[in-house]
Amino acid sequence: MRFLSFFFDLLEPFFRLGQRWLGLSRLGWLFVAPNLLVIGVFTFLPILINIVYATTGGVNLFPFERPFTGTENFQILFECRNYLDLSTCRKDVFWRAIGNTLKFSVLQVGLMVLVSLITALVLNRKIMGRGFWRGVYFYPVLLSPVVVALIWKWLLQSQGVFNAGLVTAGMTPIEWLTDAGWAFFWTVFVSIWAHMGFYTLILLAGLQAIPRDLYEAAAMDRASPWRALTRITLPLLMPNLIVVLVLAAIRAVQVFDEVFVLTGGGPGSATTFIVQFIYQTGFAEQIHLYGLAAAASLALAAFLVVLTLAQLRLTRASEAGQKGR
């Protein structure tokens, strides 16, 4: 505590000076300066540089020593001789990564929101120890992606519990993480396992905001529980559901860490997603193609913008719908 006040006292003269020079009306700038400096240098400046990278070629890290190549990076990424056959594309891994990411996002978001919704509905019932049960589903959310991946890698390895179960049941063991289909399934499963608690919590908050008397009125009218669910709960939960869907989609499109540790993108490129493509082109491979990586991240950014705009549209539509009722 004494150290803390010593530290703050040390900064005092600096701010007194600032107060005298700037006056009270402009002192606010001094307080926001550290924050602005950090986001300026590490967020907004990089956005600008990203554009420079995407439009220049070569392997030089310094943006202004790189030869201008215009849209060449984008051409490398997107050009195919025959768009119906991925192997004719100049960067077929990129296309595969896009395909994988879309497939992953649709499956993961759809299933996860469904499971979260069911869990939230269950948690919203009259149950003993609700705080405890709410925490249960939330625990994996706090674990780091690396830890999550290692937990499952340990269970799924060829000598792991899952295969032990199969062998005891008299079946042949499966290489869960080196079989393309299974590896993809497990990336979806593990990422649902790790993140569903977060979305459950948001949906639960939405459920608890629905007035109880609506259900009492429904019971009075002898509405079945199913009818109460489809006519009261789901419509009133719609705004939360949209938020959850879009948030989950924005995260799913950026999936990287868990999968990177769990499968390393393999087997082949079966579980390689866009962010891993960016990481590999920019940092992991022998020649660091910063321009290509930057172009790919701009493509990802454009996609995220579309998602965000869709959210705004949907929320506005659902709000308008509620008012109209």
Quote the DSSP letter at residue 41: I
Q: What ranges in 40-144 are assigned the alpha helix state H?
A: 45-54, 72-78, 92-123, 130-142
> Please, which of residues 255-274 interact with other proteins by CB under 8 A?
256-257, 260-261, 264
- Which residue in 109, 117, 120, 204 binds other proteins (CB under 8 A)? 204
Nearest to other proteins of 129, 324 (CB atom): 129
CA-nearest of 122, 255, 97 to 189 is 255
Cα separation, 70 vs 30, whole angstroms: 40
Count of residues that bind other proteins according to CB under 8 A: 97
- Which residue in 42, 64, 68, 226 binds other proteins (CB under 8 A)? 42
Tokens of 82: 């025959």
Nearest to other proteins of 217, 302 (CB atom): 302
Nearest to other proteins of 25, 172 (CB atom): 25
Question: Could you say whether residue 12 binds other proteins (CB under 8 A)?
Answer: yes
Cα separation, 106 vs 114, whole angstroms: 12
Look at residue 230 and give its three-state secondary structure.
Answer: helix
- Which residue in 56, 101, 105, 119 binds other proteins (CB under 8 A)? 119
Cα separation, 12 vs 257, whole angstroms: 42
Query: Which region, judged by CB under 8 A, interacts with other proteins, from 73-81, 87-95, 175-183, 291-299?
Result: 291-299
Question: Could you say whether residue 151 binds other proteins (CB under 8 A)?
Answer: yes
> Please, which of residues 120-149 interact with other proteins by CB under 8 A?
122, 125, 127, 131, 133-147
Q: State the minimum distance, in angstroms, from the CB of residue 23 to other proteins.
A: 10
> Please, which of residues 209-238 interact with other proteins by CB under 8 A?
225
Q: State the minimum distance, in angstroms, from the CB of residue 81 to other proteins.
A: 28
Query: Which region, judged by CB under 8 A, interacts with other proteins, from 159-167, 214-222, 227-235, 315-323?
Result: 159-167
Cα separation, 77 vs 132, whole angstroms: 49
Tokens of 94: 């990129």
Q: ω before 211 within 30° of 0 (cis)?
A: no
The residues facing 56 across adjacent strands are 68
Look at residue 80 and give its three-state secondary structure.
Answer: strand
Tokens of 50: 């990203």
> Please, which of residues 77-116 interact with other proteins by CB under 8 A?
none
Question: Could you say whether residue 297 binds other proteins (CB under 8 A)?
Answer: yes
Nearest to other proteins of 38, 217 (CB atom): 38
Q: With contact defined as beta carbons under 8 Å apart, do 146 and 152 qualify?
A: no
